[in-house]
Amino acid sequence: RGDSKDYDSETESVCPFCGVGCKVSLKVKDGKVKYVEGINGPANEGRLCVKGRFGFDYIHHPHRLTKPLIRREDAPPKGLNVDPADWSTHFREATWDEALDLAAKGLMKLREEDPRSVAGFGSAKCTNEEAYLFQKFIRQGFGHNNVDHCTRLCHASSVAALIENVGSGAVTATFNEIENADVAIIIGANPIENHPVAATYFKQFAKRGGKLIVMDPRGVGMRKFATEMLQFRPGADVSMLNAIMNVIVEEELYDSQYIHRWTENWEAEKEHLRQFTPEKMAPICGIEPDQLRRVARIFANAKAGLIFWGMGVSQHIHGTDNSRCLISLALMTGNVGKPGAGLHPLRGQNNVQGASDAGLIPMFLPDYQSVTDDAVRAKFSQVWNSGDFSNEKGLTVTEIIDHAYAGKIKGMYIMGENPAMSDPDVNHARKALAKLDLMIVQDIFLTETANYADIILPASALYEKNGTVSNTNRQVQRVRPAVPPPGEAREDWAITVDLAQRIELNWDYTDVSQVFAEMKQVMASLDNITWERLETETITYPSLSETDPGQSIVFGHGFPRPNGRAKFTPASIIPPDEAPDEEFPMIATTGRQLEHWHTGSMTRRAKVLDAVEPEANCSMNPRTLKLMGIEPGEMVRLTTRRGSIEIMVRADRAIAEDMVFIPFAYVEAAANILTNPAIDPYGKIPEFKYSAVRVEKAAEA
Ligand code: SF4
């Protein structure tokens, strides 16, 4: 580690992995980041997890893209067949001018034929400014809203429910508010692995005597700190939550004053909940009536309660209904808008909050301003000095893939996303990508998606960038380049600007701070947040004055809805899209592991992380393995209606006996070959958390 005299420079930035947004100091020697130290950001107070501390060296990996590449005319057919260490049979090196000109020519040809034949995937791995420019590129450049990013695969249903019922898609309280809570629910989240530094605050809360209620079909690590652990049946969220709320209604534990002053539709919600008695719901959700009653009383009788949730809630065809229940639970107990209380979907990627805020979604412009609102579009057209664009909501990630498969979308610009690994039913997604006439991929590695590209533009990692990112807490923070991008690689915003100019857009940005200044013109959430302040401060939006560090809690004095009130939206039980049967008798669920991040393109190239967790694996209950005659460490074959993978299995008592847990970071056993593309009708999020699966010994399959 050494001390500062051992390094050439030290640069403050933000960890590139999860939505906690830990602040870091990057120590550089001889042009390379040598050490990462946690520093005093509001979300981490000097702490880091193993990814933040040891997962940085992917930025110096020899697989980094350093020159633009163009697919060779004599390349083999598109497919997952490019070796990132030797791509020369598929691609040839090009100059930036040649690659960008070719990309622009292809995009303009498609625009002339049919502008809707082009779509864009941006990334929650890029900065706010890059996300803003990317959505502007598609909207201004092609006149429609077919632009999206991985929020669609993550918390889209949570955001849909939050916007519908409280009027805003962001958290109502930072996770640090747990200091002021006396009860907290963590549901469908595994923060010890996925938000590890946030988990340290949750553990401290429990150790101080706070009541922690953990709800999850997997016996996740937080159960060790829980006052109550509810290991409910997969997909049974609504039945369990409605039963808890039924108790609150029947025992009149709700906060009448709060409901009367700040909400609407309570009577309908109350009547709806009467049918969901604990006795009726227990066989569905698998939780005993006594425990449902106990939990209802603990939460309703607390002075202040927080609800945290993760993708276990959102990634279902009823993900929006799951979130509606959580919102109703918080509202009926008066747990929004006061210290220690609130709703907090734990955001996954480091900048998924910021990318969504910046309008990288097909139905909303920056700050969740609807594309269907004429006045809103007129404002953007004026600031962009360009004509109007479509008032139709655009296509989402999975819809764009379906349109590409059907041949309706012919060209895509993909910045930093990896749909060839991250989409559900990924064999279908790969076939769709292979059909495109023009695919431009901007990334730092030759990802599985870049395998299908026609043009590859080498981009920059977060530690090579200037800009801002926004974490799960609504905290806006500066990122700064500790080292330059390798070779001829460039910052993403600069590449997008160059490409925009070549498709004849009127862009003249020369510095990323100019993009931030433009964002401030159209995003009220950035009021009082200036580039200068961000030099030295982390600011939680909304910030009420130029000296206000920002509001940790919002909606204490009303909600940003037409009548200032939050809404109860009753939710009914919708079963998972496919039920286990004789052919596929178990349930597969997917997620992340502590050491690996999402599709693994970064962490599997980080030496320490890859050494700790080098091999594709899944987990099953040891009793199930014993019954099936499978030893831990053996290879199993997992098969769903979409396809099969072979993968090493581990024994884990935390997994229910009828479940298999599969991390989705491993290309050699891609979990998303198995997953169900059925989507939630509101958030349009796929049901990653529930697929009917068959498990066999690989040797006997
Ligand atoms: Fe990075 Fe998240 Fe770990 Fe913090 S908790 S160091 S942001 S991965």
Hey, which of 14, 15, 609 would you mutate to test ligand 1's pocket, going by the most ligand atoms within 8 Å of its Cβ?
Answer: 15
| C-alpha distance from residue 200 to each of 39, 350, 468, 562, 565 (Å) | 16, 18, 25, 38, 34
* From 151-165, 427-441, 530-544, 577-591, the region with the lowest mean pLDDT: 151-165
Is residue 1 scored above 70 in pLDDT?
no
Is residue 238 scored above 80 in pLDDT?
yes
Cα 469 to ligand 1 centre (Å): 14
Q: What is the DSSP string of 291-325?
A: HHHHHHHHHHHSSSEEEEE-HHHHSSTTHHHHHHH
Is residue 144 scored above 90 in pLDDT?
yes
Give the 3-state secondary structure of residue 650.
strand
Burial of 614 (0-12, 13-18, 19+ CB in 10 A): exposed
Protein residue with least CA distance to atom 3, ligand 1: 49
- Segment 688-701 mean pLDDT: 92
Cα 51 to ligand 1 centre (Å): 6
Q: Measured from the CB, is residue 49 less than 6 Å from ligand 1?
A: yes
Q: Measured from the CB, is residue 197 less than 6 Å from ligand 1?
A: yes
Could you tell me which residues are beta bridge partners of residue 469?
Answer: 477
- Segment 109-130 mean pLDDT: 97
**Per residue in 576-591, is it b (16+ CB within 10 Å) or e — as a string?**
bbbebeeebebbbbbb
Can you tell me the distance from the alpha carbon of 16 to that of 53, in angstroms, rounded to the nearest whole number? 11
**Residues 159 and 382: beta-carbon distance below 8 Å:** no
Cα 676 to ligand 1 centre (Å): 29
Is residue 52 scored above 70 in pLDDT?
yes
The closest-lying atom of ligand 1 relative to the alpha carbon of residue 597 is 8
**Residues 232 and 285: beta-carbon distance below 8 Å:** yes
Cα 55 to ligand 1 centre (Å): 10
Q: Tabulate helix, strand, coil % of the chain (nearest 5).
A: 40, 20, 45
The closest-lying atom of ligand 1 relative to the alpha carbon of residue 14 is 7
- Residue 295 CB neighbours (<10 A): 24
Is residue 425 scored above 80 in pLDDT?
yes
Protein residue with least CA distance to atom 1, ligand 1: 52
From its phi and psi, is residue 106 left (phi > 0), alpha (psi between -120 and 50) or beta? alpha
Q: Measured from the CB, is residue 52 less than 6 Å from ligand 1?
A: yes
Interstrand relation of 211-215 and 228-230 (parallel, antiparallel or unpaired): parallel
Q: Measured from the CB, is residue 316 less than 6 Å from ligand 1?
A: no
pLDDT for 4 equals 73
Nearest Cα neighbor of 286 from 672, 657, 701, 630 is 657
pLDDT, one tens digit per residue, over 366-419 is 999 999 999 999 999 999 999 999 999 999 999 999 999 999 999 999 999 999
What pTM was computed for the model?
0.96
- Segment 140-162 mean pLDDT: 93
pLDDT for 344 equals 97
Q: How does DSSP classify residue 366?
A: G
Cα 605 to ligand 1 centre (Å): 17
Protein residue with least CA distance to atom 2, ligand 1: 18
Can you tell me the distance from the alpha carbon of 543 to that of 517, in angstroms, rounded to the nearest whole number? 16
- Segment 187-208 mean pLDDT: 97
Which residue do the tokens 């809103």 mark? 376
Phi, psi (rounded to 5 degrees) for 439: -130, 120
- Segment 53-64 mean pLDDT: 97
Tell me, what's the ipTM? 1.00
Can you tell me the distance from the alpha carbon of 155 to that of 158, in angstroms, rounded to the nearest whole number? 5
Q: Measured from the CB, is residue 22 less than 6 Å from ligand 1?
A: yes
Protein residue with least CA distance to atom 4, ligand 1: 22
Is residue 461 scored above 80 in pLDDT?
yes
**Residues 467 and 479: beta-carbon distance below 8 Å:** yes
Is residue 701 scored above 90 in pLDDT?
no
| C-alpha distance from residue 602 to each of 271, 566, 608 (Å) | 50, 40, 12
pLDDT, one tens digit per residue, over 627-643 is 999 999 999 999 999 99
Give the 3-state secondary structure of residue 441.
strand
Can you tell me the distance from the alpha carbon of 634 to that of 617, in angstroms, rounded to the nearest whole number? 10
Listed in sequence order, the residues at least 6 apart from 536 whose beta carbon sits closer than 8 Å to its beta carbon are none
Cα 18 to ligand 1 centre (Å): 5
Cα 642 to ligand 1 centre (Å): 33
pLDDT, one tens digit per residue, over 505-561 is 999 999 999 999 999 999 999 999 999 999 999 999 999 999 999 999 999 999 999
Q: Measured from the CB, is residue 55 less than 6 Å from ligand 1?
A: no
Cα 194 to ligand 1 centre (Å): 8
Can you tell me the distance from the alpha carbon of 534 to that of 653, in angstroms, rounded to the nearest whole number? 46
Cα 470 to ligand 1 centre (Å): 14
Residue 351: pLDDT band by 50, 70, 90 thresholds?
Answer: very high
Can you tell me the distance from the alpha carbon of 522 to that of 379, in angstroms, rounded to the nearest whole number? 8
Q: Measured from the CB, is residue 366 less than 6 Å from ligand 1?
A: no
**Residues 425 and 452: beta-carbon distance below 8 Å:** no
Looking at 358-470, list the stretches that DSSP marks H as alpha helix, in order from N- to C-terminal side.
Answer: 374-384, 397-405, 419-422, 426-435
Nearest Cα neighbor of 405 from 426, 432, 438 is 432
Phi, psi (rounded to 5 degrees) for 588: -100, 135
The closest-lying atom of ligand 1 relative to the alpha carbon of residue 48 is 6
Residue 2: pLDDT band by 50, 70, 90 thresholds?
Answer: low
Q: 546 is written with which tokens?
A: 């130029």
CB hemisphere CA count around 557 (13 angstroms) = 1
Nearest Cα neighbor of 591 from 292, 299, 193, 147 is 193
Is residue 162 scored above 80 in pLDDT?
yes
Q: If you average pLDDT over every residue of the chain, what do you get?
A: 96
The closest-lying atom of ligand 1 relative to the alpha carbon of residue 53 is 6
* Size (the chain), residues: 701
- Segment 326-351 mean pLDDT: 97
